[in-house]
A and B are shown apart, each in its own frame.
Chain A
């Protein structure tokens, strides 16, 4: 399965290597550690807010998942450093991935 296919359907999966179990991010079909094949791990992943700022009224934050991958996401409520969040909405918009956490 390709990451973008599942993301397009609103599901956030984490790419993981079949061979060495390393998490591969940004998504790739080949592991950057051992060049093994990568599968998509499904789950209700819990992330942690590392940093945030705000553009106009819209907060944005950097969220860390599985202690190894980070994304930039929208958040509707006022963020706090260390706050635990989950992906509440995701997909592909105008060619870009988009992520929203809460």
Chain B
């Protein structure tokens, strides 16, 4: 029996729910030699800013137990060079492209999205409201730490674009549901969570933080339980699609993240496992409707009964993606 893997986020139709997370994939080119990128559900680019940024001084990364810290510092060529040099080659892959953008102020975000609106070759915008690795001076703060700022940013960019708009949220908050709601209330088509957690590792020899930036963003399998909890919490508060990010790897145990995020999983095998294995999301999308898979899907994850029922009715498929079994509680697509 044919199984449908497609999901819809805003106006974007993904042929499968696996995307590569922003920052893990550059602008696509480096991964071409590893696998056929056409198999991906979608690509989220490395974040771009109005002006080019060289990034943070080294050391920028350090391994931690089952994870790593990064403080790359949003190194990127700036929007003009991106449109000219990085965007056209992405069209070759024939998968939906979501451009990640960041600005220090609402005004910057508006200018950036305005500039992108004139360009073609991409399908959506992911607002990086949550990068923990850049300096915020004066009144500037991480947008995603404040529901009011999220509201302002989403509302302003919503006016600038008809394309699918996704708000990427930070996990360093006490009420992720409220943050997701602020994005939904102001026109976001979807939310993606989580961005990296602010972390630190001390070098025992120098007794100083390992990273030049002192703190960095923690990612990897170690964060998955927290990411899953946050996706679950957000799901209780919003109806828009949630793209789950955090510690997803090709180890067969990302089912929980996928169960809860009814839009897709971003970063599957590309974030950590991508670096660990030199391959990114090997989205072969082989359908597998094994009884075990269906059973696991039915059991649910502790949602309230209404939610569980919804899921039972909505489960139409299980997809095997590069040894990860992804279960999608979808509406009947």
Does B bind A? no
